[in-house]
Amino acid sequence: MLIQRASDIPSSEITPERLYSNRREFIKTASSALGTAAVISILPGCMNSSASGTAQNKARGPYDTDEKQTPYEDIISYNNYYEFGIDKSDPIKYSKNFKTKPWTVSVEGMVKKPATYALEDLTKGFAMEDRVYRMRCVEAWSMVIPWMGFPLAELVKRLEPTPSAKYVEFKTILDPSQMPGQKPSIFGGGLHWPYTEGLRLDEAMNPLAFIAMGIYGKSLPNQDGAPLRLVTPWKYGFKGVKAIVKIRFTDKQPLTAWMEASPQEYGFYANVNPQVDHPRWSQASERRIGEFYKRRTLMFNGYAEQVAQLYSGLDLRKNF
């Protein structure tokens, strides 16, 4: 693997993000004294020097928000990952021993390169990019997360869907021996496993759609979806299927896990839309994790300029 796994990092080395600026100062000083090579080796938990800080100290790309980033500790301890429990604090506790190496992804359906790929082969040669995205959960909270990964479009192009493919479906690993939430005795009657999500192919090709393999320049922690998960920042968080083992190209709209569990509450599109309430609560505002007050939720989570054209002519109240 290119990147060090977060679970390999002793917790004493996980630096609170508010200390990062000090650390950057330290690194700058040390780097003039010691030379760059020595500096890289003293960065705990970092892939290389370019991934060492937060994305905040780098040139921002066209997709990055400059809003304050949610602290690392919050991103890794306040999670939704029902395979490991329903409480936000469950995934960090119960995903500790989840095995992500070796990892294979099977590519199926209407595609020219169907195969079961080792993760290393599937992603070979992809440059790891940083993307600072807003994330809006359907539960009306949000975060700002500096992801590391590659555009989903790159992967789709590599796999070459056939002209008949209109959608792409993703599935999480099914392994009740490692995922206590998948045991019917513990969590029956809710989601059907494996967790399934899908995108229209043109949504998947939008430059915002991203496959994340890291956060804050470190490998994805298990609870955030290691070793690879989907990130579509204009959609509610539940689209961001974790621990992907299957990618299937199809001409039919996939039945997603949340649609299957509760179709009147969760639609296929799942676009962040403050005008369409969840049947049980409003979507007009949100609370940023770490903040007290509520802020207004923006159409497409603030990404309308990049994605609104995907939905021209579609009634977004019916297609929620």
Ligand X SMILES: Nc1nc2c(c(=O)[nH]1)N[C@H]1C(S)=C(S)[C@@H](COP(=O)(O)O)O[C@H]1N2
Residues that bind Mo ion (CB under 5 A): 80, 137-138, 237-238
Cβ within 8 Å of residue 68, ≥6 positions away = 144
Query: What letter represents residue 320's amino acid?
Result: F
What does the alpha-carbon distance between residue 278 and residue 282 come to, in Å, rounded to a whole number?
6
Q: Is 119 helix (H, G, I), strand (E, B) or coil?
A: helix
Q: Which two tokens stand for residue 25?
A: 């100062």
227 binds, among ligand X, Mo ion, none (CB under 5 to 8 A by kind): none
∠266-269-274 over CA atoms, to 5°? Answer: 75
Neighbours of 41 (CB within 10 A): 9
- The CB-side HSE value for 271 (13 A sphere, CA atoms) comes to 25
**Least separation in angstroms between CB 261 and ligand X:** 11
The answer to the question of residue 79 lying near ligand X (CB under 6 A) is yes
Q: Which is nearer to Mo ion, 137 or 244 (CB)?
A: 137
**Least separation in angstroms between CB 17 and ligand X:** 16
The answer to the question of residue 146 lying near ligand X (CB under 6 A) is no
286 binds, among ligand X, Mo ion, none (CB under 5 to 8 A by kind): none
The answer to the question of residue 137 lying near ligand X (CB under 6 A) is yes
- Interacting residue with ligand X among 39, 241, 247, 276 (CB under 6 A): 241
- Interacting residue with ligand X among 149, 161, 198, 240 (CB under 6 A): 240
- Interacting residue with ligand X among 20, 72, 82, 300 (CB under 6 A): 82
- Interacting residue with ligand X among 242, 246, 248, 288 (CB under 6 A): 242
Per the CB < 8 A criterion, the answer to whether 222 and 98 are in contact is yes
Per the CB < 8 A criterion, the answer to whether 131 and 64 are in contact is yes
Q: Which two tokens stand for residue 172?
A: 């999480």
The answer to the question of residue 83 lying near ligand X (CB under 6 A) is yes
- Interacting residue with ligand X among 172, 182, 250, 273 (CB under 6 A): 172
Residue 178, classified by CB atoms within 10 Å of its CB into exposed (0-12), middle (13-18) or buried (19+), is: middle
What does the alpha-carbon distance between residue 184 and residue 169 come to, in Å, rounded to a whole number?
24
- Interacting residue with ligand X among 234, 238, 303, 320 (CB under 6 A): 238
- Interacting residue with ligand X among 90, 130, 154, 224 (CB under 6 A): 224
61-69, 94-102, 123-131, 238-246 -> range binding ligand X (CB under 6 A) = 238-246
Per the CB < 8 A criterion, the answer to whether 63 and 208 are in contact is yes
Q: Which is nearer to ligand X, 80 or 123 (CB)?
A: 80
Query: What letter represents residue 152's amino acid?
Result: L
**Least separation in angstroms between CB 169 and Mo ion:** 19
**Residues lying near ligand X in the complex (CB under 6 A):** 79-83, 137, 172, 195, 224-225, 237-238, 240-242
